[in-house]
Structure 1
Amino acid sequence: MKKSLVFFLVAITLSLSNAWAVSVPSIFGSHMVLQQNAEVTVWGSAKPGEEVTVTGSWDNKPVTTKGSNLAKWSVKLNTPAAGGPYTVTIKGHNTITLEDVLTGEVWLCSGQSNMEWSAAAGIDHAEQEVPKATYPEIRFFSVGHQTADGPQLDVQGEWVVCTPETMKHFSAIGYFFGRELYQALDVPVGLINSSWGGTPAEVWVSPETVDKDPVLQKAAAAQKEVPYGPVQPGKAYNAMIAPLTPYKIAGALWYQGESNTNAPEAYATMLPALINNWRSDWGYEFPFYYVQIAPYKDYGPQAGAVLRDAQRRSLRVPNTGMVVVSDIGDNDDIHPRNKLDVGKRLANLALNKAYGKTDRPASGPLFREMKVEGRKVRLYFDYAESGLVSKSKELPNFEVAGEDGKFVKADAKIDGSTVVVQAKSVKKPVAVRYEWSNTVTPGLFNKAGLPASTFRTENVTAKQE
């Protein structure tokens, strides 16, 4: 009898000990990367009133707080310039020691399958790239697939060091982006991948974001249930983005849109809404760089072109950038296997715009404005200061429309940093469009070798065939 009582008391003691244990979300762990030169938030759970002390070994300055009446706590730590390894110690009723912590540049990678796609799934040159992927100062955190009806406090995942084995199962684009940053900046890089193949953008924003916009409500209603992932607003956001929002990041990468081609025009509202939603939750306007979807034959009539143009028009949101991949896509495969160049283009964009390395090419030509010159139209582009080039004898994929709104094939020629287009049958041109089909072979590039984006001049409403 006495023996049973002892066991009972020990069990109760252990139970109470566990109930009082200070804890942190899984985003805090050994091998993590904290944003350098920043005020970062560390947070977790503790018994109400329990004293919690957090110390970073880079300065050994303890920061103390107490568990709130909701059993939550958070502190701010000032991180040093890139370096490490350091230790972060969290002490309350128990002690948590996080080891091999680095400070550097932290980027969030998100979207659907093309962002999630790994070397293990099959990429070009995997046999050369995987064995080379030993980078102790690049770290990965992969967020597990989950859904929720309301914002959650934690995600599934853990930080791991970049090795050939861990790289093989991480976002290939994320890895190649991170490797370029690491080599160019010589600082540790932390990459958080929160992606889910086949998901529309609606699942990655808060339900409130969709509810307050009729355009987004209509687009969300057009989504059909699928067996491989959620389609309802907020489902992935609540479980896979909201828990990360206190974690300091340098910026976000986004590759998504294929699952929104059922309502492509709405994407010009959806993507800015997503960007603003995330920035509001993080509390600052971090850089947001995204990949334009690649050409693909099986989208609905012109839906791929309409969505690509919607992505281009989303550049009106400040501190954003877009990578065009129409020259390295695959019209027969929605998952082009050249992830290396996508990652490099994203890295060059970030290095140019976020890190001031202006020798890196930031973008291909982006339509800026048109001017009518009699029966001709002159097109002006950003990112074409050094001139435009064509990789073929003719300059394909341009169309012009007159006052009837009907587009016809146009003759186009490069004139320095502009393009002049005309069609014999159009006497009074009012609109131009470029690469207006689901499948295209790009013809217009800047001298950095980057392709021009699909576009439709926006100052007219023309009939769509």
Structure 2
Amino acid sequence: MKMFKKITYLIVLITNISFANITLPSVFSDHMVLQQNDDVKFWGWANPNEEVVIVPSWSDKNYKVKANNQAYWEIKISTPKAGGPFNIKITGYNEIVLNDVLIGEVWLCSGQSNMEMSAAWGIKNGVEEIKNANYSNIRFFNISKTSATSPQNDLKGNWQVCTSEVMKNSSAVAYFFGRRLQEDLKDVPIGLMVAAWGGTPAEIWMPENVIKENEILNNAANKLQPVEWGPTEPARAYNSMIHPFVGYNIAGALWYQGEANVGAVNYDKTLEALINSWRKKWEKDFPFYYVQIAPYNYGKDHFGGVEIRDAQRKVLENVSKAGMVVISDVSPTDDIHPKDKKPVGERLANLALVKHYKTYFDIVNGPLFNGITINNKSITVHFDNDEGLYFSDKKIALFEIAGENKIFHLAKVKLKNNIITLSSKEVKSPKYVRFAWGNTSISNLFNKANLPASSFTSE
């Protein structure tokens, strides 16, 4: 009987010990980057009421917290200015040491295939870029594709130092973004958290309740048809690829998506909802910069592609701290995966450097439609970022005007002193204007920064 009691005691002891170990979500690991000059959130699991002590090597302070009755704990830790490498010791009944931790700027990079696209897919100057891609102060956290019907508490991913091999198989847009940031931020460490899945609609990247509780979003989601390359149901990627690291401090988010939503009539509302939902989850109004999809032949007899581009433009009017880059000048119309990813990443970075970091002062946006003035038989079009307006090819007519009937006709264009005036013999009383209004229409209007104007309609 005594022997039985001893065996039972040992079994209970071993069981308790096995459940007592502190565990961390995969986002906390060697080589990670933490947001500088911030109170960053750490969390994990331990035995209920177990004390967890965190000691970062950049500080003399010990951070202590106890796991609750759900075996969960979280705590905020103050980070210094950019630097490293550091280590972080986390102790309870067991001990975890995170090594080679950098303090810098962390960005979430998400979307579909053009964000996912790596140098291994075949990008412009890919061989040379791969060879030169050894940057120890740039780190990738590449998140594996998974889906879930409910929010998850961990995910598949790991932090990696940017070497030629890592860069080769990571987001090219994110890489060029990070590299450009470092040029102006003087080698501040950059963390790039990449959650992307080719061919996926925006609806799978936001919480399900955001869609279900909004009639417009819900109707759009119900029209999505199943595809063989990924989920189309609301929240499936959000649950497994975003939610598990909500709260990991980030500087901002990058987004390159929209092709999978071609045909949607309210994509601006969808994208606005996604941005607002992420900010709400993070409890932070972080900057959100995105890429306008490129001109591409999505088929004849519809304007599905350019309608998405215009919807993306409209988001700028309704969302604070948002920015959009136009890439029609570096994208062919016969490839839905443009190979020249360097200017895409650099334009996103320039937005961040001007708007968020305020270390760069050049013009970083092309001409952006700002309204019209009707002058009897002509219309004057107003643009933001209109310094040095010029047409790259005056023979290509991309401006159209229409009257009350909304039947558009090519317009005669007069450009003088950065002011564009439009008229047409077919339109006696003009009321509406549109520009580059076609799925494959490539903008020929630029400003002095040699950046193209976005397509638009004033309807």
Q: TM-score, normalised by structure 1?
A: 0.95
Q: Per-residue CA shift, 1:329-364, capped at 9, x if unaligned?
A: 121111111111101111111111111134233211
Pairing 1:370–2:372 present: yes
**In structure 1, distance between residues paired with 2:32 and 2:339:** 29
Does the 8 A contact of 1:433 with 1:456 survive in 2? yes
Equivalent residue of 1:158, what SS? Answer: strand
Q: TM-score, normalised by structure 2?
A: 0.96
**In structure 1, distance between residues paired with 2:447 and 2:136:** 36
Equivalent residue of 1:327, what SS? Answer: helix
Distance change >3 Å, CA 407–CA 160, structure 1 → 2: same
Pairing 1:244–2:245 present: yes
Does the 8 A contact of 2:350 with 2:360 survive in 1? no
Does the 8 A contact of 1:200 with 1:257 survive in 2? yes
The Cα shift of 1:6 comes to: 10
**In structure 2, distance between residues paired with 1:136 and 1:262:** 42
The Cα shift of 1:373 comes to: 1.4
Pairing 1:166–2:166 present: yes
Alignment correspondent of 1:45:
45
Return 5+ residue gaps in structure 1 as ranges: 459-465
Equivalent residue of 2:107, what SS? Answer: strand
Alignment correspondent of 1:126:
126
**In structure 2, distance between residues paired with 1:405 and 1:122:** 43
Pairing 1:353–2:341 present: no
The Cα shift of 1:235 comes to: 0.5
Alignment correspondent of 2:278:
278
**In structure 2, distance between residues paired with 1:133 and 1:8:** 57
**In structure 2, distance between residues paired with 1:438 and 1:156:** 37
The Cα shift of 1:416 comes to: 2.2
The amino acid across from 1:269 in the alignment is K
The amino acid across from 2:348 in the alignment is L
Mapping of residues 51-90 of structure 1, within 5 Å? 51-90=51-90
* Larger displacement relative to structure 2 (321-330 or 171-180): 321-330
Does the 8 A contact of 1:305 with 1:437 survive in 2? yes
**In structure 2, distance between residues paired with 1:133 and 1:413:** 46
Pairing 1:337–2:339 present: yes
The Cα shift of 1:14 comes to: 5.0
Alignment correspondent of 1:289:
289
The Cα shift of 1:56 comes to: 1.1
Alignment correspondent of 1:140:
140
Does the 8 A contact of 1:380 with 1:417 survive in 2? no
The Cα shift of 1:395 comes to: 5.4
The Cα shift of 1:89 comes to: 1.1
Query: Segments of 4+ in structure 1 off by > 4 A?
Result: 3-15
**In structure 1, distance between residues paired with 2:12 and 2:121:** 48
The Cα shift of 1:192 comes to: 0.2
The Cα shift of 1:8 comes to: 9.6
Q: Per-residue CA shift, 1:47-95, capped at 9, x if unaligned?
A: 1100001111111311101000111001111100000111111111111
Count of paired positions: 455
Does the 8 A contact of 1:395 with 1:444 survive in 2? no
Alignment correspondent of 1:462:
none
Equivalent residue of 1:237, what SS? Answer: helix
The amino acid across from 2:343 in the alignment is D
The amino acid across from 1:90 in the alignment is I
The Cα shift of 1:11 comes to: 7.4
The Cα shift of 1:212 comes to: 1.4
**In structure 2, distance between residues paired with 1:391 and 1:169:** 36
The amino acid across from 2:202 in the alignment is A
Distance change >3 Å, CA 430–CA 158, structure 1 → 2: same
The Cα shift of 1:415 comes to: 2.2
The amino acid across from 1:87 in the alignment is N
How much identity, in percent, do the aligned residues show? 47
Does the 8 A contact of 1:54 with 1:75 survive in 2? no
Q: Per-residue CA shift, 1:373-401, capped at 9, x if unaligned?
A: 121111111111x2211111335211100
